[in-house]
Amino acid sequence: MEENRHGEGHMTTSDAGTGKATRRPRLPRGTLSQETIVEAAFRVADSSGMDKLTFSALGRELSAHPTAIYRHFRNKDELLLALIDALHEEALAHTPPPTDDWAHDLMQIAVHTHRAFLRHPRVGALAAARTARRENEFRTVERKLDCMRRAGLDDDDAARYYRVFADLVLSYSAMDASLASLSPEIRDADLRAWKTDYLDLPPEKFPHIARLAPRFKALDDPENFVTAVRAVIDTIRAKANARA
């Protein structure tokens, strides 16, 4: 599944109740699949938000009866886990094949996971705390563990630093996705605060803020994420070198 999915075919608010929208013909029985439902779910979530992602909304998006969706997903939580696994699939599809440089490979996994979350921020914002326990999550865990072993870590450290690396990537990606999910007005106010409110604080009360606030990076500066990932990779390298 590539890039953002927009809600084609949705009735606009100006059309609602005007009679302009026409009912689309229902899909033939057996046409739906988990993949088509997940694609439609991304369209609804990307355009309207997760709170609007209901089986009724999916039925309208797919021109199908909502009960047909229950044949593939028992409830919304099961659908959410499938969406999260699809984010992993999208990230893996963009991640280059492994090289002989484990650190480079870890950074590529991190960057493309982050980008996938930001392409679908409404889903990405919810993804860090959940375990999809599906094929693509298994694949991305396997690739990260491969990097840990190639770094030279023993089994205990490989398992530990896999967890640290994965949680950093997922949580930071979800945080940035949450920021991207905010309304433009709220997001702009939060971004602006670091350039205005913090600069106006009294230096006698907050001397360190007064000194360093002019150097603060923007909340949405992509280098923040890269710097955090690089710090974890450097820690893994130091741990492996100490063992050698």
Cα(182)–Cα(81) distance, rounded to whole angstroms? 22
pLDDT band at 158 (very low <50, low <70, confident <90, very high): very high
Q: What does the pLDDT read at residue 228?
A: 99
Cα(125)–Cα(83) distance, rounded to whole angstroms? 12
Residues of the chain with CATH 1.10.10.60: 1-8+20-74
| pLDDT averaged over every residue in the chain | 91
Residue pair 61/11 in contact by the 8 Å Cβ criterion: no
Q: Which two tokens stand for residue 25?
A: 């013909």
pLDDT reading at 10 higher than 60: no
Q: What does the pLDDT read at residue 58?
A: 98
Give me Rg for the CA atoms of the chain: 22
Cα(129)–Cα(131) distance, rounded to whole angstroms? 7
45 to each of 7, 95, 113, how far by Cα in Å? 9, 24, 18
pTM: 0.86
Q: Which residues 6+ apart lie within 8 Å of 145 measured at CB?
A: 158, 159, 162
Distance of CA 219 to the CA centre of its chain: 17
Residues of the chain with CATH 1.10.357.10: 96-243
Domain at 1-8+20-74: CATH code = 1.10.10.60
Residue pair 126/80 in contact by the 8 Å Cβ criterion: yes
Neighbours of 17 (CB within 10 A): 9
Residue among 130, 122, 235 nearest 177 (CA): 122
Residue pair 88/140 in contact by the 8 Å Cβ criterion: yes
Q: Which CATH number fits domain 96-243: 3.40.630.30, 1.10.357.10, 3.60.15.10, 2.40.240.10?
A: 1.10.357.10
Average pLDDT of the residues in 44-68: 97
Per-residue pLDDT reduced to its tens digit, 185-202 = 999 999 999 999 999 999
Per-residue pLDDT reduced to its tens digit, 207-237 = 999 999 999 999 999 999 999 999 999 999 9
Residue pair 181/187 in contact by the 8 Å Cβ criterion: no
Q: Which residues 6+ apart lie within 8 Å of 5 measured at CB?
A: 39, 42, 43, 46, 120
Q: What angle do CA 187, 188, 193 make, to 5 degrees?
A: 100
Q: What does the pLDDT read at residue 244?
A: 80
Q: What does the pLDDT read at residue 7?
A: 34
Residue among 224, 229, 223, 3 nearest 94 (CA): 3
